[in-house]
């Protein structure tokens, strides 16, 4: 039976293995942040460089740039490395502007009983 070294255990349970890599961070409030992990501490507080918030409504999405972003560790639900060789989104997703995605998401929240497709057609996006 082979035993893992202390270094292997440290890297498998720490954010150190994600330093300088592009990550997806899912927060407790449902936001999805993408960026390069530059620093972290023992509380999982993290600093993302070139961060953006990905907002998805139906088949529409928008990446809202945030720049250098500090995340409080208690708000983190999930952290995962992005595979740079694969497409980030399915081909049927359509990129729209930040103004369009805000308008669509506000409409979906105000009228949840309408289908998303009907709302998108009504807004002509």
Q: Is 58 left (phi over 0), alpha (psi -120 to 50) or beta?
A: left
Residue 123 lies inside a defined structural domain of this protein? no
Backbone CA torsion sign across 10, 48, 54, 22 = negative
Q: What angle do CA 65, 81, 85 make, to 5 degrees?
A: 85
pTM: 0.74
How is residue 112 written in tokens? Answer: 């949840």
Residue 63 lies inside a defined structural domain of this protein? yes
- pLDDT value, residue 47: 97
Residue 11 lies inside a defined structural domain of this protein? no
CATH number at residue 57: 2.30.30.100
Q: What angle do CA 65, 13, 76 make, to 5 degrees?
A: 35
Residue 103 lies inside a defined structural domain of this protein? no
Residue 116 lies inside a defined structural domain of this protein? no
Residue 4 lies inside a defined structural domain of this protein? no
Q: Domains in the chain: how many in total?
A: 1
DSSP symbols for 48-74: EEEEEEEEEETTEEEEEEEEEEEE-GG
Segment 20-62, tens digit of pLDDT: 999 999 999 999 999 999 999 888 899 999 999 999 888 889 9
Residue 29 lies inside a defined structural domain of this protein? yes
């Amino acid at each position: 039976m082979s035993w893992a070294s202390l270094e292997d255990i440290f890297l498998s349970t720490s954010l150190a293995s994600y330093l300088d890599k592009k990550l997806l961070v899912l927060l407790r409030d449902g936001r999805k942040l993408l960026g390069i992990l530059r620093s972290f501490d023992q509380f999982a507080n993290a600093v993302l460089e070139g961060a953006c918030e990905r907002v998805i409504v139906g088949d529409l999405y928008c990446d809202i740039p945030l720049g250098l972003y500090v995340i409080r560790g208690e708000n983190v639900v999930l952290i995962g490395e992005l595979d740079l060789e694969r497409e980030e989104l399915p081909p049927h997703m359509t990129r729209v502007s930040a103004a369009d995605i805000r308008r669509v998401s506000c409409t979906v929240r105000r009228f949840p009983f309408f289908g998303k497709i009907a709302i998108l057609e009504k807004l002509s996006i």
